[in-house]
Chains A and B, each alone.
Chain A
């Protein structure tokens, strides 16, 4: 049996909301993953350096305050420079300010390098079972 994939979690930018990422972290742990929980207010640079140190297989980022796009402007470039192009990137939450259609927001975050983009109130168990396991298997990491 391969060892459990390593997943990094955290809320990006200056966002102080923590409940979402705490739920993501605990549910991942319960599902048998090796979780590195960075908590709230994690800079894009911190995500990248921790991913390098731990050889992580995926980052599951959360954001609630609506400014994630600003926080992640140069993230993709930096993570590619850091040699992390093969790492899975998911993001979910309240991703822009105001009332919005999640379908319009998804392509904007895919442009920023994210493999999957989730609207508010997404069920994390479904994400893990339907998407994460499948994507990790496709990359030969599970």
Chain B
């Protein structure tokens, strides 16, 4: 057996401190960060503001929270928006940053932010955390009794402000779903550049948490690739010093599969963390997430039903959080009022269903779990072979050769030779396997399920079926027969 390892170029402490300061010097508010004071401030936070402790407590008490999305530029309005979330029962609060902040265009943000403050209008599509700086953002964190997580940007400004999540590891989110030209080597370089900030804080007793995204399945597609990428993300983050993480499990709308994947993901992530020697990295819960296309803005009924479906899956799987969009997801930036009605609907399900502690036993969960697990192991085995035991080297080679592949990626460096379709029960199957190293008997299982749909619809399942399936969940019809009214 080859020795399992995780390539990670660590830089020495002096260089680390220099690079951290350089990053902060990109905007004047960086001066508000004093590293030692930030550690002391983090240590002074009550448990209710520490992400991993909040999630652990929810799990121990058999309860759950929505993990929403929210961001508006003016501080007072942001406090109001977050207070609205807290009033709807949310204890995990996101600070969604605006698009310009994510692209580091701070000067542009500064002018627009001034205009926002003058007119009271939200001209940015999120909270510009870098321009707002530590003092102001601490005011936000201190105003509301909940844990905070910066989304899309924030770095050490967010940590010094008392937010308790941070990014680490080789994450596929941007590479697979948001960028056009990045290569897998560039992804590894940028995520393993030795900026082990999370580890630096962990060494000083401050545990920052992270959610694992994996490679987003942008359309109906089996979740195995995503779970493999969450494992890669988890072990590479652990190598950088990450001590607490949890998987976002991307639900596709077939309840049997969704529940099977929610069971499988934390189990195999734990197993591989242990195999690689990171026994002290905690998995502090699971968080089902809404990933496929949302109902269009005009279909508010559909949007409500979809978020209630995800809440129900979370409640039945005894998760401690659910990553939920509001009914305004299809319309753009959510308001306080639409957030409130959306998350009150979710809370109703949490309170009524989650607290019943239902033990469900849906026929087929075991099969789906077994199928996905076999795929995950087969793909990871091949990655470790390609990397001669090194998961990072293997990942680079796997993406380059299509051993790791996902459909509909905007990135031109992705093979994009795989496709998914729904079967006769709405479960996700492969239509095209590309170069994925999936065992032959599992391929046969998928082909058989696709054949059942062909029989039901009386026609061949092809590319056009996969296109039609993109809308299956947003239009509220995942099984491959026409609705009654057509």
Which residue numbers of A lie inside 8 Å of B, CB to CB? Answer: 14, 16-19, 22-23, 26, 30, 39-41, 66, 94, 97-100, 120-121, 125
B438 at the interface (CB under 8 A from A): no
Which residues of B lie under 8 Å from residue A94 when comparing CB positions? Answer: 296-297, 330
Which residues of B lie under 8 Å from residue A16 when comparing CB positions? Answer: 177-179, 410
From residue A91, how far is it (CB to closest CB) to chain B in Å?
17
- Chain A residue, CB-CB nearest to B408: A19
Alpha-carbon gap, A84 to B412, bound state (A): 28
Interface 9-residue window, one of B90-98, B463-471, B478-486: B463-471
Using A97-B332, A98-B331, A99-B331 as known contacts, say yes or no to A19 and B298 having CB atoms under 8 A apart: no
Contact B332 A19 (CB under 8 A): no
Alpha-carbon gap, A121 to B218, bound state (A): 17
Contact B218 A19 (CB under 8 A): yes
Using A23-B467, A66-B332 as known contacts, say yes or no to A39 and B410 having CB atoms under 8 A apart: yes
Which residues of B lie under 8 Å from residue A30 when comparing CB positions? Answer: 463
B149 at the interface (CB under 8 A from A): no
Which residues of A lie under 8 Å from residue B332 when comparing CB positions? Answer: 66, 97-98
B309-344 vs A, CB cutoff 8 Å, 1 = contact: the mask equals 000000000000000000000111100000000000
Using A18-B408, A18-B410 as known contacts, say yes or no to A120 and B467 having CB atoms under 8 A apart: no
Q: Is the interface of B mostly helix, strand, loop or mixed?
A: loop
From residue A63, how far is it (CB to closest CB) to chain B in Å?
13
Alpha-carbon gap, A23 to B470, bound state (A): 11
Residue with the highest number of chain A CB atoms closer than 10 Å, among B298, B331, B410, B467: B410
From residue A7, how far is it (CB to closest CB) to chain B in Å?
18
Chain B residues 284-301 with CB under 8 Å of chain A are 296-298
B409 at the interface (CB under 8 A from A): yes
Which residues of B lie under 8 Å from residue A121 when comparing CB positions? Answer: 296, 471
B99 at the interface (CB under 8 A from A): yes
- Contacts beyond the supplied A39-B412, A40-B180, A97-B331: 8 A-B pairs with Cβ under 8 Å: A14-B99, A16-B178, A16-B179, A23-B470, A26-B463, A39-B180, A97-B333, A98-B332
Contact A120 B331 (CB under 8 A): no
Using A98-B297, A98-B332, A99-B297 as known contacts, say yes or no to A19 and B219 having CB atoms under 8 A apart: yes
Contact B471 A41 (CB under 8 A): no
B433-474 vs A, CB cutoff 8 Å, 1 = contact: the mask equals 000000000000000000000000000000110010011000
Contact B409 A18 (CB under 8 A): yes
Alpha-carbon gap, A125 to B298, bound state (A): 24
Enumerate the 10 nearest inter-chain pairs by beta-carbon distance, A residue then B residue, closest first. A18-B410, A97-B332, A40-B410, A99-B297, A19-B408, A98-B331, A16-B178, A23-B467, A99-B331, A120-B296
Which residues of B lie under 8 Å from residue A120 when comparing CB positions? Answer: 296
From residue A133, how far is it (CB to closest CB) to chain B in Å?
19
Which residues of A lie under 8 Å from residue B178 when comparing CB positions? Answer: 16
Which residues of B lie under 8 Å from residue A17 when comparing CB positions? Answer: 410
Which residues of B lie under 8 Å from residue A23 when comparing CB positions? Answer: 467, 470
- Chain B residue, CB-CB nearest to A15: B410
Which residues of A lie under 8 Å from residue B331 when comparing CB positions? Answer: 97-99
Which residues of B lie under 8 Å from residue A22 when comparing CB positions? Answer: 408
B163-192 vs A, CB cutoff 8 Å, 1 = contact: the mask equals 000000000000001111000000000000
- Chain A residue, CB-CB nearest to B174: A16
Chain B residues 398-433 with CB under 8 Å of chain A are 408-410, 412
Residue with the highest number of chain B CB atoms closer than 10 Å, among A19, A40, A41, A100: A19
From residue B333, how far is it (CB to closest CB) to chain A in Å?
8
From residue A9, how far is it (CB to closest CB) to chain B in Å?
13
From residue A126, how far is it (CB to closest CB) to chain B in Å?
13
From residue A12, how far is it (CB to closest CB) to chain B in Å?
14
- Chain A residue, CB-CB nearest to B177: A16
Alpha-carbon gap, A19 to B463, bound state (A): 13
Alpha-carbon gap, A120 to B331, bound state (A): 12
Which residues of B lie under 8 Å from residue A100 when comparing CB positions? Answer: 297
Q: What are 23 A-to-B residue pairs whose CB atoms are below 8 Å?
A: A14-B99, A16-B177, A16-B178, A16-B179, A16-B410, A17-B410, A19-B218, A19-B408, A19-B470, A23-B467, A23-B470, A26-B463, A39-B410, A41-B410, A66-B332, A94-B296, A94-B330, A97-B331, A97-B332, A98-B331, A100-B297, A120-B296, A125-B464
Which residues of B lie under 8 Å from residue A39 when comparing CB positions? Answer: 180, 410, 412
- Chain B residue, CB-CB nearest to A99: B297
- Chain B residue, CB-CB nearest to A14: B99
Alpha-carbon gap, A120 to B410, bound state (A): 20
